[in-house]
Structure 1
Amino acid sequence: MTRIHVDRASCDKALFFSVPGPVSDKLGPSPRDSLAALVSYGMTDAEIAEYHGLPRETVTHLRLLYDIRDGR
């Protein structure tokens, strides 16, 4: 398995500019916990993105930033 390095500062900046409204507006006050729960239910990054109205790339970046495994 290849591990992808995500630079936290770059990721935070990209999220700020790519998400319509704050991430907490979409994923609630604890985005990490919300995202971890959705991934544990078996949802893919694309499914989470569509459900919450976020770009798939944003969900993927958040999942990598928070070190949440398996978003397919």
Structure 2
Amino acid sequence: MVNVTKSDTAQERDKSSANDFGKIFFNVINPQCLKEDFPIVCTKYGWFGICIQYGQDTTQPKVWQFAKGPKFPTR
């Protein structure tokens, strides 16, 4: 027989709350992150000069830029 103490129940509740917060913050609000990487440039243009393909310009020095944030794992 397993004894479930009050602290075990509280700990599980806290984990559940933390997981709910992580899912909402990272998957719904979806904040952007800053990263240092090579500049992103257009590598292929479509009709009316709209960029349809992007790539990194490795000939330029790295710059700080916004990137997609991580996804929170769901179970």
Q: Which structure is higher in strand share?
A: 2
Structure label with greater radius of gyration:
2
Q: TM-score, normalised on structure 2? A: 0.22
Q: TM-score, normalised on structure 1? A: 0.23
Q: Which structure is higher in helix share?
A: 1
